Amino acid sequence: MVDDLPDIDAIDDAASLRVLLKQIISLLKDLQATVDRKDAEIAELRRLLFGKKSERIPPLEREVKRRRKSTASTAADKKKSQEKRKRTKQAKKELPTEEVTHEVSEDDCICPHCGGVRFSDLGEGEVSYEYEFLPARLIRRKHVRRKKACRCGGHVSTAPGPDRVSDGVQYGPGLHAHVVVAKCADSTPLYRQAKQLERAGVPLGRSTLCDMFHRSAGLLAPLHRRILELVAESRYVNADETPIPVQDEEQTRRAYIWTFVADELAGYVYSPSRSGKTPVDVLGDTRGYLQADQYSGYNAVTTPDGRTRVGCLAHLRRYFWKARESKPQEAQHALDRILDLYEVEYQAAEKEILGTADHLALRRALSAPILEHLEQWLAEQTPLHPPKSPLGQAVAHAQRNWDSLVRFLDDAKLSLDNNVSERALRLIALGRKNFLFVGHDDAGENLAVLQTLVSTCQLNGVNPEEYLADVLIRIQTHPQSRIDELLPHRWKPPDELAAAA
């Protein structure tokens, strides 16, 4: 850019000099913006590499709680803690109980006062409890199919065999379910599971576990498709995506796992690319709200005839957090106003009015003035900071997406951020660190199928191992017209079905 400036010795009039000065001033502003941006990037890298985790952006929940020290807040936290302790106590009572009786030894049955040895029982005595962990173990279940024959010898009847995951498969549905949940819920790679099973007594190879994983996905694929259909029918959907490496001939290539969350459903989709084709395939031309970040891949479904885009204040908060190094006072002002908005949500939670008309009225009474102030403040800051500086980028991001960021004022059901879908992708991110990559595109699709079912179980408080062990058998004969009965949020355990019958 400096080479493009004219030679100052060749300037012989005031007009040309003014043009040169304007060019120099513009160049200096660009250079200052570049310096600010580089300083912010260096500071961020230093925090990530050398700083304590506490120096990174703190969670919104922690920040709001830190600011709110009111009596109402303390009472709410105390009530929540009491309910958690009550649930824990009840869960302990419902555990299977193994009674161990400790007898009084003969040496202790001599009375020191009279020397007598005729002791009588005083009932159960003292009782105490301890909670013990029993390591997982494999058993070999022997199935004996009895036969009966007619006395005439003309007919032999054989008892039916056990239901199996697939013909010829000698591993039960419970083991299949354990392999799936260990990978999708606990992010345990198959090779680590193989080590654990070897300690339990049976050395199963990773390829055997891999077969169980993919066999389960093949059987449960119809449930995955149905969940995605129900997500598309939902009025309010949260979406996000994250990269996942895929093994290739020479090196890994990048693919993506997408998540679409609606109410009690969490649908995952694998795609070889990050193109907007995936949101179109899942949501199509459905109407309603879509809450996501500002990635352009969602533009095809957020149209005037499609879904309305809802922005993410948590994403905006990260922009201003990164600007704290270069402009701490201005950045902190914006961060405080964002926290003010979340404080209103905590008030609604304490009043137990979330998602109601009263919640919407509270937002319009308290959140709307905060947003009006923030919008005016952004307009004032725009000419004061270079567009490429960290604060300039934060301000521009807020103004460019303002309509979607304030959309929560229209509907109490809408959230301020897209954290629900980001949380749904944390399992994928953690698994990516552990198993590093998927072997091929089919493996990525199978991971999306099983992650959908496991995560939806977790959203609905369903034990995923118990669910999968049951559904892997039932889905083979269950009518397609009643497939919704096997979805995690509508599934009934076998004992409940038997009781209802």
Q: 394-446: per-residue pLDDT in tens? A: 999 999 999 999 999 999 999 999 989 888 888 887 777 767 678 788 888 99
Judge whether 209 and 179 are in contact, CB under 8 Å: yes
- For residue 438, the SS3 value is strand
Residue 153: both structure tokens together:
């010898």
CA 234 to chain centre: 19
Q: Which of 114-123, 230-239, 398-407 shows the lowest per-residue confidence on average (mean pLDDT)?
A: 114-123
* pLDDT, position 9: 59
Mean pLDDT for the stretch of residues 258-285: 93
**What share of the chain in percent tops pLDDT 90?**
42
Q: Which of 223-237, 296-310, 417-431 shows the lowest per-residue confidence on average (mean pLDDT)?
A: 417-431
Mean pLDDT for the stretch of residues 470-486: 92
* pLDDT, position 83: 80
CA dist., res. 150 & res. 143, Å (int) = 23
* pLDDT, position 2: 56
* pLDDT, position 260: 96
Q: CA separation (Å) from 228 to 115, 130, 302, 441, 449?
A: 79, 44, 18, 19, 10
CA dist., res. 78 & res. 65, Å (int) = 13
CA nearest 236: which of 289, 284, 305, 285?
289
The pLDDT-based confidence of 10 (bands split at 50, 70, 90) is low
CA dist., res. 405 & res. 378, Å (int) = 14
Residue 190: both structure tokens together:
């198959």
Instruction: Mark out the alpha helices in 436-481 (DSSP H runs).
Output: 441-459, 464-474
- For residue 295, the SS3 value is coil
Rounded to 5 degrees, φ, ψ at 158 are: -115, 140
278: exposed, middle or buried (Cβ count in 10 Å: 0-12, 13-18, 19+):
buried
CA nearest 183: which of 455, 386, 392?
455
Other C-beta atoms lying within 10 Å of the C-beta of residue 358: 14
Judge whether 390 and 322 are in contact, CB under 8 Å: yes
Judge whether 157 and 149 are in contact, CB under 8 Å: yes
The neighbouring-strand residues paired with 244 are: 255
The answer to whether residue 131 scores a pLDDT higher than 90 is: no
CA nearest 245: which of 422, 425, 433?
433
Judge whether 317 and 338 are in contact, CB under 8 Å: yes
Q: CA separation (Å) from 460 to 224, 464, 487?
A: 16, 10, 11
The answer to whether residue 80 scores a pLDDT higher than 80 is: no
* pLDDT, position 71: 45
The neighbouring-strand residues paired with 242 are: 257
Residue 416: both structure tokens together:
């301020």
Q: Please calculate the CA angle 447-291-276 and round it to the nearest 5 degrees.
A: 60
The neighbouring-strand residues paired with 310 are: 291
Residue type, 452: T
User: Over the chain, what is the mean pLDDT?
Assistant: 85
235, containing H or E segment? none
**What share of the chain in percent tops pLDDT 70?**
90
CA dist., res. 336 & res. 392, Å (int) = 18
* pLDDT, position 81: 76
Phi-psi region of 263 (alpha: psi -120 to 50; beta: other; left: phi over 0): left
The answer to whether residue 336 scores a pLDDT higher than 90 is: yes
Give Cβ neighbours of residue 99 (< 8 Å, ≥ 6 apart).
none
